[in-house]
Amino acid sequence: MNQTPDRLVELQGVTCDLGHGPVLTDIDLTVERGTFAGVVGPSGSGKTTLLRTLLGTVDPTKGEVLRREGLRIGYVPQTETIDWSFPVTVGEVLTMARPARRFRPWTDTIERATVSDLLDRLGLGGLQRRHIRALSGGQQQRVFLARAMLGSPDLLLLDEPMSGVDVGTRHELLHLLADLHAEGNTIVLTTHDLNGVATHLPRLVALNRTVVAAGPPAEVLVPEALEQTYGAPFEVLVHAGLRLVVDAPHGHTHGHSHAATHEGQGAT
């Protein structure tokens, strides 16, 4: 975590309307350098729109988005939006985002070394010539993370990076993101997975068209905030310092903790 926080993006009273009524309403949010945050909320709560507003592909209908001058953002889209039948190799995915020498689009020695180093670092060494469909779910996510990182971004935005991956891959990706954060990267991701992902992150934003709660999991993963966000009652169990969210039977919403020997894994 960077010791001298620096505001990268700031949303001030932002409202977004994509044509069918407001998707986001009156959002105040600041992304500081060194942040590692997750945006949680139910389907249709505006998580992706919030990410796109930070990114700049969605313009607010009201309010202001302030970006640090010269801010470079790396964006990792949802894997569901990728055309997996497109003929493209891992190496081509990485280099397509880089500026090429004029009239010589092929890679040179220096670029090949840069790409190779990054792939090795992300555990993708030797896969440059593989087609993207011929990779595991975790590898596919890491390819698009690598493409985003190749531009040395100040801010990494990931849209549902753990969606559709198994538990092992989820842990692997969480550890990778935690390592990248420890190296000084600023990361904001969206997730619908409260127990598998959100609880492991240092900071959360609970969203349901507007910011319901923001802060560390201890402040956001609480029954009141969750009920306000999801419109349904929840219980929160504290398990070896890790907060676990479960559906509350019969509207019972009293959070409680117990001293089981659960071992928290992940990003915190």
Partner 1 sequence: MIEFLVEPLRYEFVRHALVVCTVGGALCGLVGTYVTLRGLSYLGHGLSHAIFGGAALSAAAGVNVFVGSWLWGLGSGVAISRLARSRGGRALRADAAIGVITTAGFAFGVFLLGRYGTVKRSLDATIFGSVLGVTATDQLLVAAVAVGTVVSILAWYRPLLFATFDPEVADVSGVPAGRTDAVLMVLLCGVILTSMRVMGVTLIAATIVIPSAAARFLTDSFAKVLVWSAVIGGFTGLAGMYLSYHLDVASGATIVLVQFTVFVISFALGGRTRRTRTEPVS
Which residues of the chain form contacts with partner 1 (CB under 8 A)? Answer: 18-19, 55-57, 73, 75, 77, 81-83, 86-89, 92-93, 95-100, 102-106, 129, 131, 133-136, 139, 151
Whole-number Å distance between alpha carbons of 84 and 131: 9
The pairing of beta strand 36-40 with beta strand 203-207: parallel
Nearer to partner 1, 136 or 257 (CB): 136
Residue closer to partner 1 by CB (options 98, 192) is 98
Distance of closest approach, residue 187 Cβ to partner 1, in angstroms: 17
Which segments of the chain are extended strands (E)? Answer: 7-17, 22-32, 36-40, 62-67, 73-76, 155-158, 186-191, 203-207, 211-215, 234-239, 242-247, 256-258
As measured in angstroms, the least distance from the Cβ of 52 to partner 1 is: 9
d(CA 141, CA 249): 36
* Cβ nearer to partner 1, comparing 55 with 212: 55
Least distance from partner 1 to the Cβ atom of residue 48, Å:
11
Q: For residues 4 and 106, which CB has a smaller minimum distance to partner 1 in the complex?
A: 106
Q: Return the DSSP state at 184.
A: T
| Spatial CB neighbours of 64, under 8 Å, sequence gap ≥ 6 | 11, 12, 13, 14
- Give me the half-sphere count of Cα atoms (radius 13 Å) on the Cβ side of residue 30: 7
Helices (H), the chain: 47-55, 90-95, 109-121, 137-149, 167-182, 217-220, 223-230
> Measured between alpha carbons, how far is 14 from 47 in angstroms, rounded to an integer?
14
In angstroms, give the least distance from the CB of 56 to partner 1. Answer: 6
Q: Which is nearer to partner 1, 129 or 258 (CB)?
A: 129
Task: Name the nearest CA neighbour of 205 among 190, 184, 195.
Answer: 190
Question: Which CB atom, from 97 or from 218, has the smaller least distance to partner 1?
Answer: 97
Cβ 136 to partner 1, closest distance in Å?
A: 5
- Find the shortest distance in angstroms from Cβ 102 to partner 1: 7
In the complex, the smallest distance separating the C-beta of residue 76 from partner 1, rounded to whole angstroms, is: 8
Q: Of 186 and 199, which has the nearer Cβ to partner 1?
A: 186
Nearer to partner 1, 88 or 238 (CB): 88
Least distance in Å: CB of 127 to partner 1?
9
CB–CB of 187/145 below 8 Å? no
